Chains A and B, each alone.
Chain A
Amino acid sequence: MREFWRRYRMNRAAVGGLVVVVLIAALAVVGPFVHDVDPFEMMGRPYSPPFGEFLLGTDVSGRDILAGIIRGAPVSLLIGVVASLAATLIGVALGAVAGYYGGFIDDALMRTTEFFLTIPSFILAVVIVAIFSPTVVTITAAIAAVSWPSVARLVRGEFIAQREREYVQASRAIGMPDWEIILLQILPNALAPVIVVSTLMVATAILTESGLSFLGLGDPNHVSWGYMIGVARTALRVAWWMTAIPGLMIVIAVIAINLAGEGLNDALNPKLRER
């Protein structure tokens, strides 16, 4: 672990990314206490520019943009993290079974995976959310439902590479049940790339969530950055900053997560550093 941290620290961009991620998480947790304003309530004159009475101005209905940014942070982060975790679980389960058993099970599962890789994932997510009216839960589930295939493919590859190794054969020889070999023997050895991919997936999930909210498929009870862009869009001609601010937050958050993820990749795979 210390060795891992030492390697991670060597990548300055990754450390910067991690710092920003921690700052945004802090904003999400502490922000509501420091700046306790309802993001849905009209607080002042609409269209106030930033750095006036309101630090980031007000939107078309006079709502405090700063409050929206603060309350939107935990929504974006949570949906991103939970969707990515769920997709990872599905992907690991299917990939592990396919890779470990091979044969017919592998064929069937991989056909399914390829099928889900083929259909346009964003449109599928839109359809799923539209069918079950948008809530934080359905949005998260929809993103997870379209994100798992890449994990499944990755895990399958790792399992195929590992399954003929001596330690697996030895485990089999001593009569260890399959589930134990999969979970306790092989999985730990295949985990490093999975961690990297699911970290990067958090960033993609945040982008997908913002796209859904922008199309009006956001949870009406929670403000989100994508929703704020969708609302501000109508005022693009007179108040471009209203659109720009939440978008910048998304960009910053996603860059930070990507940098952290790439740093993770470098730190976990020292051999690949030179690439």
Chain B
Amino acid sequence: MLRFVIRRLLQLVPVLLAIATLNFFLLQIAPGDAADIIAGQSGHATPEFVAALRAEFGLDQPMWKQYLLYLGKLVTLDLGYSFQYQLPVASLIADRLPSTLLLMVPSLAIAIGLGVALGVVASRRRGGWVDGLVSIGALVVYATPVFWLGLMLIVLFSIQLGWLPSSGMVDVRANPAGLAYALDVARHLVLPVVTMALFYIAIYTRLMRASMLEVYSLDFITTARAKGVPEGGIAWRHAARNALLPVVTLAGLQFGHLLGGSVLVETVFGWPGLGRLVFDSLQQRDLNLLLGILFVSSIVVVVANLLADLTYGVLDPRIVHK
């Protein structure tokens, strides 16, 4: 098991290198470099000043040297400097990543939990009302832009009904502490989490349903029936456990998609995470920050895939991690 994890971690090296290379490439094709941007911000830069800046950043070096320089910086977790915030990109991201995870992890957990449960119910009552509702719901949710869904939920639950806060992570006016703080954050989490989760609930319900129907046609289900196992036990103990496997794989693969969604959802709900940082850096064209976020979020996805693989191994005894 440990050796498997180590081997998988080693496999990450080329992926990380590829991400870094892509980032470097994007940085190169971007019109203007860091020196131009600083010069532009100072407003009255002389060509000599710009040249000096170039030399300082190593931008006058040949391309391959710049590339190696860039890689060297990445290894030391130096993702560059955000001119907008006057802070290192790495520390900005480290500051915001937990909020994003606080949003994503419950969303994914709810989506998997509810999706699996609804998928099992829909597959057992094939053609029933749950089944019908699920397919119509999936069709609509698939087609709804996640940011618009968030806005509509704000209209309903914050503006019309006044039940839930529409923006931020905590009520700054009340400035709660301790348990009250946690509860307040939870209250602020409800709408963004629901917004994020809905789309994935639809996805996992459909996948789980299809997967269940496939498992139901397998012989060991007949064996369980012949043993006298009640239908509920067959659905959960025998079928669901097997049907879960593709859902886990997909959940790992979709973490990147989830991160993309969180950019939009955080923007809608003013959630102080990575996604909101993307929006802010867009306003200022803060490329360093933007690329840093792309880099870190790619790593998050890769790690999520690794976790999904490990979960798969736990659920399926046929997989042996050597």
A residues with CB within 8 A of B: 111, 115, 117-124, 126-128, 130-132, 203, 207, 210-211, 214-217, 226, 229, 233, 236-237, 240, 243-244, 247, 250-252, 254-255, 258-259, 275
Contact = CB atoms under 8 A, between A and B. Distances in A.
A123 B259 contact: yes
A16 B291 CA distance: 43
B253 A247 contact: no
Interface string B11-52: 000110011001000100111000000000000000000000
B220 interface: no
B276 to A, nearest CB: 11
A125 to B, nearest CB: 8
B77 interface: no
B159 A237 contact: yes
Contacts of B26: 127-128, 131
Nearest to B143: A254
Contacts of A207: 143, 145
Given A131-B30, A216-B282, A255-B139, A122 B261 contact: yes
B120 interface: no
A251 B293 contact: no
Given A123-B278, A247-B152, A226 B145 contact: yes
Nearest to A13: B139
Contacts of B241: none
A215 B159 contact: no
Contact of B293 (A123, A131, A214): A123
Contacts of B301: 118-120
B196 interface: no
B147 A214 contact: yes
A130 B285 contact: yes
Interface SS of chain B = helix
A212 B121 CA distance: 37
B148 A122 contact: no
Given A215-B263, A255-B139, A127 B256 contact: no
Interface SS of chain A = helix
Nearest to B19: A119
A200 to B, nearest CB: 10
A117 B250 CA distance: 12
A120 B256 CA distance: 4
A73 B283 CA distance: 26
Contact of A229 (B139, B140, B151): B151
A254 B140 CA distance: 9
Contacts of A259: 139
Interface residues of B, number: 49
B144 interface: yes
Nearest to B160: A240
Nearest to B149: A247
Identify the interface centre among A115, A121, A244: most chain B CB within 10 Å of its CB.
A115
Contacts of B312: none
A222 B256 CA distance: 29
B244 interface: no
B151 A251 contact: no
Interface in B51-85: none
Contacts of A243: 148, 151-152, 155
A121 B258 CA distance: 10
B279 interface: yes
B246 to A, nearest CB: 15
Interface string B258-285: 0111011001100000000011001101
Interface string B280-322: 0011010100110110011001100100000000000000000
B13 to A, nearest CB: 13
A119 B298 contact: yes
A215 B262 CA distance: 12
27 contacts: A115-B19, A117-B256, A118-B301, A118-B302, A119-B19, A119-B294, A119-B301, A121-B256, A122-B259, A123-B294, A130-B290, A132-B30, A203-B143, A215-B264, A215-B282, A216-B283, A233-B268, A236-B159, A243-B155, A250-B143, A251-B144, A251-B148, A254-B142, A255-B140, A255-B142, A258-B142, A259-B139
Contacts of B268: 233
A215 B278 CA distance: 9
A207 B145 CA distance: 6
Contact of A123 (B144, B210, B283, B297): B297
A229 B147 CA distance: 9
A128 B291 CA distance: 10
B79 to A, nearest CB: 14
Contact of B152 (A131, A211, A244): A244
A47 to B, nearest CB: 15
